[in-house]
Structure formats: structure tokens, C-alpha cells
Structure 1
Amino acid sequence: MDALADVLATTGFSGVLVAQLRSRGPGWGCALEQQNTAGFHLVAEGACWLRVEGRPPLQLVPGDVVLLPRGEPHSLVGAPEAAAVPYAELEAAHPPGREGVVDLGGLGPVVRVVCGKFSYEGDATRHPVLSALPAVIHVPGMSADAELQGIIRLLIAETTRTRPGARVVAARLTDVLFVQVIRAWLELTEADAETGAGSRQRSWLTALHDPRIGAALSLVHETPEAPWTVESLAREVAMSRPAFARQFRELVGAAPLAYVSRLRVDRAARLLRETDDPVGDIGEAVGYASEFTFSRAFSRELGIAPGRYRRAARARPAA
């Protein structure tokens, strides 16, 4: 079982384009407040700068991708010291129209930035993927592998043309873009750890590269409802119980059974959102012996009872 794909599917993760920023010259600036979702920027033409508090300005050139997993406040500007206007004000002054382009005008070389976000269930700070990532991920287009460069070129092309279905195609490409950026970050993290240029960040994402712990994660994602114990997982990957428990915690950042519990609850949350199955049946399907033990585990993980979670989830679209 592909653990990354499973988590993204379980949390209903999907991408959507928000707008394109287009400007000319260095005097423009767009400020974005803290977002409640992950977002990204792809530089399609020209060059600009990304400003994030506590970090030096970062120059972005065509093909560069920036991912902000937890929606950090930031600014996109034409020059490092340029003033930034809140996006809402820019959008009101320059309505995007049918093509979704916020054209800021100006004189000079064209700068075009494709902006998007990702929707999913839950808080980014608790999302299994997003919470494991740094606040800002920058993937230079020139250093991206062939697959990522291909996705970048396709996304730029689809946001430039006016062919039927272009926005739908572009939105689907954002899903692929996200996975490719994560792969690029994982490879960079692995290379830095091997050369001593950086420390290995502990998360289940980086643990996927470990032959034994990665295999254990795949087993758990394939059958989270199985009666897993630390002993049975250790036996499956040919490790002693103490060594497995220690290495799992070191690499994943959580104890094995705590990870299993969170995965079961995430799987149950998806079933509560997408099916009409009784709460007790859902609890049994994800591995709990009784509705009481399921409700207790669900409330402990998400801070809300299963029934209330279902009602709240179904009320959101209507609201």
C-alpha cells in the first residue's frame, strides 16, 4: 500500500487554482495573510521575490515552485523592498474576470505567477503530510527532475491557453504537482542528511525511505483494521520488538500503536463523511471491538464525537 497516496485520499486532498498574478516592472507587491490551507506559487514568466517573516527574500525565476504547507503569511513582490498590498485589495481593484488573471499593469518585463491552494479535511497543523513539512518548500525549476519539469510546463501551458476545460486540467495537474514537490523535497532531505549538509527531519514521510519502517507503514496502511501489536509489526519486518519500537519512534515521531490509532481514526472520519453507515459499523470496519472504544478513540484524536463530526462535516457544504 502506498502510504502517501492513502493519506491524501483519506483526507480528501485536492488542488484548485485560485488566480494568476500578472504585472510589469518591479514596483508591484501582493501580501497574503495566514491561510487556513496549504498553497503554492508557480512562476510562469519573469522573476519576482518571495518574502516570509524571519527569512531573507527569495528570488523566484521561471519554473520555480514554492509550496507553503501551512499557509504562512507571505508576500510576492517585484523587488526585495517593494511595498505589498493585501491580495483582497488588489483583487477588488483588478477583477480577475473569466480567465482568473489579476492584472496589476505597470511598465517593464511581464511577470506571471500561477497561484493555487489545496483543500482537505482537518487542520494543516494536524494533517499527516502537511504537518511533517517545513513552513516553506522552494523547488527551483532548473534543478527539478524531468517529471516535475514536465508537470510545470504542462501547468504553465494550461494556464496560458483558453482551450475548453483548461482550468479543470490545470486543477488536476496541481494534485500531481504537489506529489512531485514532496518527492523533490524528500530527495533533497535525504541527500543533505547523507552529506551532512542538514539534519534529517523526523516524520513518517522520511520514514518511507527506510526499508523496514517503510514496510511496516505500508502494512498498516493496507490493513489498519488488523489487530496490530508492536510485536506483530516487528515480526513482519524481521526486527526485535525493542529495536522496532525505538526505530519507529525515532523515524516517524510517534509510537507504533499511536500511529495505528490515528490512521484508524482518519479512515473512520472519511467513512463518516462519505457514507451513511452506522457509527458502530464504521468503528468495527476500522478495527475497534465496540462502538464505545471507537468513540473514545475518535474523540481523543479529533476532540469531537463521531456523530457530531458527521453532522458538522455534512453541514459545511450547505453553509
Structure 2
Amino acid sequence: MDILTEALGSMRTAHPASVRTDGRAPWALRLPPVAGAGFHVVLYGTCWLVPVGPVGPAASTDPAGSAGPTGPAAGREPVALSPGDVVFLRDGRGHVLADHPDTPPVDAKSCRVDGNSPIGTVSLGGDGARTTLLCGNYHLDQGRPHPMVRQLPELIHLPTRHGRHPELAAAVELLGSELENPRIGSTGIVPALIDSLLLYILRAWFEDQPAETAAGWAAALRDAAVAPALTAIHEAPATPWTVESLADRAGLSRAAFARRFTSMVGEPPMAYLTRWRMTTAARLLRESEAPLTAVAAQTGYGSEYAFAKAFKREFGRAPGNYRREARAA
């Protein structure tokens, strides 16, 4: 069971939206907040990302620093970006991309998108140095964020130069090639690469966290006791798990396991089990025609009534209403 893939899949509500941005100095583009998570990939040239409004700690894995908060004001300072750099904005906050932090920005909504490429292109600026970026957002349900995503820094900056993050660097290189020289198949290849990019970004960030200092989900995914329990919950949410049975799999006492799980995952084992059961149920309701009795059985509830009661407590509406609203959206 790939917990990272499952967790992200539980939040995705649509395919990612993206556009290629070609800027020539002087240029600056103000991007509004988006519903989901924002991302940028520097394909050519250099630029700055200028945060707008209050933000929390930014995480960087730049060779000049260490993973964790970087720069004055913990993420409020402009971030210098170089070729191959990838930026992930967890909450899709508004920000500015520019050739220089002092360049006055234009609003992204005022820019015309040229559709003569696999994803569309925005061009702006003067006649100076060129920068090309892939800009977009992943449609993630921020109303019910998975705790793994909620624990991520608000801004993640991943350089891929000098052999760092080779798989992510390879994906960036492929994207750059397809966007620079579209050929037969590019229309299908580019969206698939962008869709996979999210997993490459988060894998790189999690793997960058030093084992001796990792905390939260970065520690849970590699912990000898907590990771097997998470895998068991994800693989078989219908199993009547208890704290004792999960602790037995982990090889710990009930109390020790519960403390360890809660400190890393952010909620107690039974609370996370209920969360994952409801997440699984919601996906089944959205994506399948399974009757409520079958959904209840697949998520560990002995009756349709017990399932409906739990689902309404979690989502604020009955399973049938949720399914109809999801299909109509």
C-alpha cells in the first residue's frame, strides 16, 4: 500500500490546471490564491517568487541551507529561483513571480493565454533576459485536508541542480522538452507528467528530512511501529481494528503505541481509522455505483444505518445526498 499516493488521491478533486509562462525582463506576474495547491517549475532562466500576505515557515532544501525555515521573516522574504527549481505552495496562496522583486506586477487575469501549445502559454514583459516556467495548481480538497498534507510547510522549494532529486529533475527535464518542442503525443504526455509531478515533489521533500530529526508524517512513514499500522489501516479499513490489535502489529504496548502514533500522525489511531474509513466511503460514493450497504461493508460498518449515521456526523449530510451533490458538481 502506497500511503502517499492514497492520501493525495483522497484529496484530489480534478486534474491539475497549468500554463507555460514566458517572461522577458522586466516582467512580474501577480497570481491570485487558488483552491488547492500551487506549483511552479523553472524550465529556463531565473526569477523570484515574492510571497503576498502573511505566510508561515517556508521549507527549503537549497544546498546553501538546511531543510526548515529559511530567510528572514520565515518565508516572507522573496525566494530566488534557478533553472530546474520546483516550488510547491501547500495552500495555493497568492504571490508574485518576477524577474526582480521590485518590478511592478501585472495581474494574471489580465494576461491572454495562447492556446497553440499542449497547455497554453502566457507571454509578458520587455525584451530582456528570458525566463520560462510551468505554473499551475493541483485541485485538492482543502475543506478536508489529509493530515499528511496539513503538516507540510506552506512553501517548499526544491532545487534539482547538481544531481539533487534525480527523479524530480528527470521529470522537469521531460516537461521542458515537451513544452519547448511539442511533438506527436505531447498533448497526452504533458498532463500525465504534471499529474505525476506532485508525487515527485512530495517524495523528494519527505526523503530530504533527516531521519534523526524528522517529525510528524515525515517520521511516521518510515517508523518501524507506526508505518505498518498506517499500512494496515489503508489496506483494510473494513477490518475491526482496535488500538490493541494495531499495537500488536507494531510490537508495542497499547499505551506506547497510542502515544507514538498520535505524536507523529497528529491524531489518535481510532480517530485516524475513522477518518480513513470516511475518506474511502466518500470516494466510493463519488466514483462508483455501489449501494450504500456495500459501501458500509467496505468501510467497516455492520449496517447501512450505522454507516449513514457516522457519515452524516463527518460530512454534515447523508451519504445519498453527498453522492447526488458530487455527481452534479
How high is the TM-score relative to the length of structure 1?
Answer: 0.89
CA displacement at 1:79 relative to structure 2? 0.4
- Pick aligned residue for 2:184 from 135, 157, 164: 164
Q: CA RMSD in A?
A: 1.9
CA displacement at 1:129 relative to structure 2? 4.1
Check conservation: 1:148, 1:181, Cα contact below 8 A.
yes
Unmatched tracts of structure 1, length 5 or more: 195-199
Matches within 5 A, 1:98-137: 98-99=116-117, 100-120=120-140, 122-123=141-142, 126-137=145-156
Check conservation: 1:15, 1:174, Cα contact below 8 A.
no
The answer on 1:97 being equivalent to 2:92 is no
Could you say which residue in structure 1 is the equivalent of 2:313?
A: 300
Check conservation: 2:148, 2:265, Cα contact below 8 A.
no
In 1, Cα distance between equivalents of 2:107 and 2:298: 47
CA displacement at 1:57 relative to structure 2? 0.3
Matches within 5 A, 1:153-232: 153-190=173-210, 194=213, 200-203=214-217, 205-232=218-245
Check conservation: 2:12, 2:138, Cα contact below 8 A.
no
Unmatched tracts of structure 2, length 5 or more: 55-75
More displaced stretch, 241-250 vs 179-188: 179-188
CA displacement at 1:125 relative to structure 2? 5.7
Q: Describe the superposition over 1:253-287 as per-residue Cα deviations: whole angstroms up to 9, x where unpaired.
A: 00000000010111111110111222232112110
The answer on 1:38 being equivalent to 2:51 is no
The answer on 1:61 being equivalent to 2:82 is yes
In 1, Cα distance between equivalents of 2:204 and 2:77: 22
CA displacement at 1:59 relative to structure 2? 0.8
Check conservation: 1:70, 1:131, Cα contact below 8 A.
no
- Tell me the amino acid that sits aligned with residue 181 of structure 1: I
CA displacement at 1:37 relative to structure 2? 1.3
SS at match of 2:246: helix
1:110–1:184 Cα change, 3 Å: same
- Tell me the amino acid that sits aligned with residue 24 of structure 2: R
- Tell me the amino acid that sits aligned with residue 302 of structure 1: F
SS at match of 1:169: helix
In 2, Cα distance between equivalents of 1:56 and 1:124: 28
1:251–1:128 Cα change, 3 Å: closer
In 1, Cα distance between equivalents of 2:136 and 2:192: 11
CA displacement at 1:124 relative to structure 2? 5.8
How high is the TM-score relative to the length of structure 2?
Answer: 0.87
- Tell me the amino acid that sits aligned with residue 233 of structure 1: L
1:31–1:206 Cα change, 3 Å: farther
In 1, Cα distance between equivalents of 2:312 and 2:179: 43
CA displacement at 1:216 relative to structure 2? 0.7
In 2, Cα distance between equivalents of 1:3 and 1:242: 24
- Tell me the amino acid that sits aligned with residue 202 of structure 1: G
In 1, Cα distance between equivalents of 2:229 and 2:264: 12
Could you say which residue in structure 2 is the equivalent of 1:22?
A: 22
Could you say which residue in structure 2 is the equivalent of 1:197?
A: none
Could you say which residue in structure 2 is the equivalent of 1:234?
A: 247
In 2, Cα distance between equivalents of 1:313 and 1:36: 17
Higher relative contact order (CA 8 A, sep 6+): 2
CA displacement at 1:6 relative to structure 2? 2.1
- Tell me the amino acid that sits aligned with residue 104 of structure 2: A
- Tell me the amino acid that sits aligned with residue 8 of structure 1: L
In 2, Cα distance between equivalents of 1:167 and 1:48: 27
Could you say which residue in structure 2 is the equivalent of 1:52?
A: 51
| Structure with the largest fraction of helix | 1
More displaced stretch, 247-256 vs 156-165: 156-165
